[in-house]
Amino acid sequence: MSNPKWPPLSRIPRHVAIIMDGNGRWAQARGLPRLAGHRAGTENLRRILQACADFGIEVLTVYAFSTENWSRPEEEVKGLMALLIQYVRHELDSLDRNGVQIRHSGKVEGISPDILHEIERAVERTRHNSKIILNVAFNYGGRAEIVEATRRMIQDGVKPEQVTEALFGQYLYTAGLPDPDLIIRTAGEMRMSNFLLWQAAYAEYYSSPVFWPDFDEAELYKALAEYARRERKFGRVPTAGATPDAEASG
């Protein structure tokens, strides 16, 4: 599937993950409080989600709030929590109507009961939708995810000789989802910031200089076009005559 507004691409990633960076700097450049940038970033998510669906992307994971973000100023954290509740309540009907399946990746411990209720309500209501999956990494940390998965395997009595990469993947927050093919980070940053450390082992990485609130469909297309140009090897030497599509992850 391709977006008729743009030149066709040779291949489209199944799973795109985005580190939505630059909200605060976007606001500061305009003389606005940081929370105004987060609000603009939340509004932009609607546009990018629609663009991903139009391009035929199956899964969009967004890094909404990390386990480290709790250390930000209390006023900013409270504002982010309010924005999350507002987004879910305001957008849920539209997301459900448009076939978006919402998932949550992250720790539930530490999330306030009212926010957790909204998350669980959104996940349950949209669980049978199949247009596109919106996987929200909220209260998420890659290292914490790996530690938690290991603990749960031990609790389940998994023996060392039974441990495989496939089994380990079933204990991650993203169980059942394909690994990300493309990870985009906005605002020109080049760090992974504890995001999908296990799942991103062979993902292609793309850094956009644009702050997240200004990252539009045209910028998304640039990232997808760059992805289509790359040859994915997955640690192997390509066989003669192999095409990029043949190397793509399943």
Catalytic, 194? Answer no
The token pair that represents 29 in the structure block? 């450049």
In angstroms, the CA 84 to CA 72 distance is 16
Task: Out of 3, 21, 23, 135, pick the active-site residue.
Answer: 21
Q: What is the C-alpha separation between 188 and 20, in angstroms, rounded?
A: 11
User: DSSP assignment of 57-87, as one string?
Assistant: -SEEEEEEEEGGGGGS-HHHHHHHHHHHHHH
21 catalytic residue (yes or no): yes
Q: Which two tokens stand for residue 137?
A: 């990494």
Element (H, E) at 104: strand 100-105
| 30: its two tokens | 């305009």
Which two tokens mark 229? 């140009």
Radius of gyration for the chain, computed over Cα atoms and rounded to the nearest angstrom? 18
Calpha distance 163→170 (Å, rounded)? 11
Residues 3, 23, 44, 69: which is the catalytic one?
69
Active-site positions read 21, 69
